[in-house]
Amino acid sequence: METIGKLLLFGGIFIAVAAQLYIIVYSFKVRVTAGVFCLFISPIYAFINEELRTHEKIKPALKMWAFGMFLFLGSVFLLTAVS
């Protein structure tokens, strides 16, 4: 069970970081200030900003980032419950 938790933890971090980098790069393409906010705040700014939220290319990346964060938090819970 601990090995599964570690794999889920690694997978969640990897998915979240990859999606976050995609969101940051795409935000810089849309508007420089939006890219800076996504870089320093987090991709949650893309959820808040209506201009970024309506782009079709960023919607799947936001879903993947949220899934990665959910996987990360679930694996942390799994690892603490097993230990």
- Regarding pTM above 0.85, the answer is no
**Structural domain span for residue 7:** 2-82
Domain tally, the chain: 1
DSSP state of 54: T
Share of the chain above pLDDT 90, in %: 29
pLDDT at 15: 93
**pLDDT greater at residue 13 or residue 57:** 13
pLDDT at 34: 87
In whole angstroms, give the CA distance from residue 71 to residue 65.
10
Q: Are 2 and 80 in contact (CB under 8 A)?
A: no
In whole angstroms, give the CA distance from residue 27 to residue 29.
5
